[in-house]
Structure 1
């Protein structure tokens, strides 16, 4: 009978029925009944993480690959706060994700206990939907509503706050799964106007979101072949399909001066699933919008629209060829000799296995990766969408669990690895096929650029020390081995190629420290 279910049982069964069958968690006292329900609802896979930022980042990686939500179970306000940075990235990626946050029991909330906080206020900036359950009878319906909110185009983070006594009380009932809303189609008049702009002005397409999948990319190539328009991808895509047989479009540069060159002389920028570009930061004497003054942004498809259908319609409208010729691209040869950013990129391009998932948080050392992997076997690239570092290792966890048949390669900067290296323990515990290539330049290299760019030009020894990761230098090989990974160090390009090939052949997680 429904009234025999506890709230926790009803919540978990509702999630499973709605397709949310993986929960990344770092639970505490207020979530113990949810944890106990794992034995009664075996269809839910619980994945333990050692830090909440790993749980939320893993749920992000899962949603990007699976196209459906995972849950992240967090403990009260402080647990949610520990996970906020990667929820910020998930919000920017528009990842479908359900965050379940345990709250103090209703009779305990007003006593200002040591862990009391305003959970809804913390959740608001990173969530498109927030609800605190008011009673055990409605908990299943609340869970259904959370899943519906996470899946409603363009997708996003839905946060459900569950008081502990609702979890342990009887009287729960399973909520009915809500129908999934499809992505919206684009009006023919919008397509016609975009076609006119492409014919009559110097124009480019800027692709983002679901416009970065294979069918949309091919349609964009058709449009470019017919009109001569340039095609760019957003700077940090949530998921970009790449590799042999797909058009390889340039990504909009992170550095403002480079982005301004890419967009120079444009009169129209046609946005397809992407927002009008702005620089990541405001700089002295640098415009915050890299497009030239007078360039008109034109939205062909918003983030909630069917981008592939819109681009296909646009290609037909401009009389594009059915199958444009793509320039042949080959993967690079395996490099030898010294190890630097160029040979690192060539090593990845030369050895990348079929159907891989690249989780890219290489930042400054990864600039050559797009060119080096354009001719590699087909793969997906997941980037640092929100700029909040420490995304790579946990997103790799989630991606590997979302599709265990695909190898995952995490290209990881050394400084940001220290934020969430607890994810390596989860990779080992779950036996995940993740190879982390950690680029060790012993500094927060990007911040040397930022120090000068914002006009902080003094750059004395005390300032430079704040960007330096030596004295002591972390030993990532020993850290990884201590968390259960097979690990080795590459000091030459030959070392890196050999270690990559070995890692791709052996089961389980590996770490390769590439010393640049």
Structure 2
């Protein structure tokens, strides 16, 4: 067994059984080791697709995937979606190929400071110096990635470590890192303080994030809201929310600063759960960075590394509300809209079309802002957003989510500007026959930037500024793009055609692209 085979064997022994790969020459021995029948290998044609897909896998499976990237430039290509994954508290194990140790002294063209590239966006970085110890390095990488919250682990694999044989006397670790990671217990005094805040009767917003927006934690948060009159909210972007009919509803803090401050001004208390107090996504002239009103008090109930479900259980006991009944979202039947496409008709078409147990990946800021409020009463589904803000996340994340949950349809909503960053995702979706409906809102513009131009006080964009925002010369042929990568497509320009295209895609296995012409 060589070092690469030892690495892959240890990954699968410890629960990491998928690798999103974009390999190069230095990784050929690792590529050979991926023949391990317990490891699923998924080829991605761009490193940002690989890292984004690993993020999507974690968000749906709550366990890390691995990636295989080629040297420093390959890592650099994947960093934007590693940034998004880190912000979403997703765990992943990145394997970065490197020149053999003896070759590095000659400074070959692809030599770079891989550690320097990795550290700002990794929680743990290590260079594997020996084939004899690489299995133990791998165990530590998986342990780091499997923490709560999830972490980014980067393991650098020199070529000679990969191809050298493991000494016969070396004992390989078995299932060391695969043990479930139990989050920290919350502080009892902090919970008692929150109980007093809630019992005060003063207007209170509980902001939920990460694991608190789903499962038992969300159900218990709903009980607390029902018992105390507190409202439940989330930041505008969240890693994953269970929502729709039959779920505990969560209000979304608006994205725009003015709307967000208006939403928050009525609360005397803000209680944070696995998140921090809300801040503006960007700074603007004459607008605040902190969105809370003056005099609003912020209290932490659950830190990022603590157990939300347990905290809510203890808090319910403190309140004497263990038997409270949460208010659940009722199903809202929406009439399929007719006529022109606009944010409202798009939202209603989406609400009517979302199938039960769908996964909705949203990167449609300009067109989709209306959608989330109008899909609260849709069939139960999961919503995934981009916490990191680096565009080009949606189609890779949708790819990873579809691999994690092959029995569920994924709706991926993305603007045309964002889609161009990682459109290679379509090829992987076709190759793996993934149930992804990619919805591209084609307004031939980075439309969000037109609004931001005004928000920044820059006035009305002139011809040169507009030329840096519009992407209509030439217009992108999305159907031709989809066809070139093996994905069937349809183009729509009315609300009823949009709904029909979504409904048709649910009935047909495999990927499809819908171009929404705006």
Per the alignment, in what secondary structure is the counterpart of residue 131 of structure 1?
strand
Matched, 1:122 2:117: yes
Partner residue, 1:415: 417
> 1:340 is matched with which residue: 334, 339, 342?
342
Question: Map of 1:106-145 to 2, 5 A cutoff?
Answer: 106-145=101-140
Deviation, structure 1 residue 470? 0.5
Matched residue pairs, number?
511
Whether the 8 Å contact between 2:355 and 2:506 is mirrored in structure 1 is yes
Partner residue, 1:250: 251
2-side partners of 1:156 and 1:376: how far apart? 33
TM-score, length-normalised on structure 2? 0.96
Question: Map of 1:66-215 to 2, 5 A cutoff?
Answer: 66-171=61-166, 174-176=172-174, 177-178=176-177, 179-200=179-200, 201-215=202-216
Whether the 8 Å contact between 2:245 and 2:329 is mirrored in structure 1 is no
Deviation, structure 1 residue 458? 4.8
Question: Map of 1:45-56 to 2, 5 A cutoff?
Answer: 45-56=40-51
Partner residue, 1:16: 12
2-side partners of 1:440 and 1:317: how far apart? 52
Partner residue, 1:32: 28
Whether the 8 Å contact between 1:101 and 1:162 is mirrored in structure 2 is yes
Partner residue, 2:441: 439
Partner residue, 1:382: 384
| Deviation by residue 1:412-444 (Cα, 9 ceiling, x = unmatched) | 111100000000000000100100111111111
1-side partners of 2:330 and 2:67: how far apart? 43
Whether the 8 Å contact between 2:249 and 2:329 is mirrored in structure 1 is no
Larger mean Cα displacement after TM superposition, 215-224 or 375-384: 215-224
Whether the 8 Å contact between 1:206 and 1:231 is mirrored in structure 2 is yes
CA RMSD of aligned residues (A): 1.4
| Deviation by residue 1:266-324 (Cα, 9 ceiling, x = unmatched) | 33211011112211111111111001223222110011111122123223322335213
2-side partners of 1:398 and 1:326: how far apart? 29
Uncovered stretches (5+) of structure 1, i.e. residues with no partner:
none
Deviation, structure 1 residue 327? 5.4
Whether the 8 Å contact between 1:331 and 1:372 is mirrored in structure 2 is no
Question: Map of 1:227-376 to 2, 5 A cutoff?
Answer: 227-320=228-321, 321-326=323-328, 328-376=330-378
1-side partners of 2:327 and 2:25: how far apart? 60
Larger mean Cα displacement after TM superposition, 83-92 or 306-315: 306-315
Cα separation, partners in 2 of 1:327 and 1:418, compared to 1, 3 Å: closer
Deviation, structure 1 residue 331? 3.4
1-side partners of 2:151 and 2:40: how far apart? 21
TM-score, length-normalised on structure 1? 0.96
Per the alignment, in what secondary structure is the counterpart of residue 410 of structure 1?
strand
> 1:494 is matched with which residue: 482, 493, 496?
496
Question: Map of 1:207-226 to 2, 5 A cutoff?
Answer: 207-226=208-227
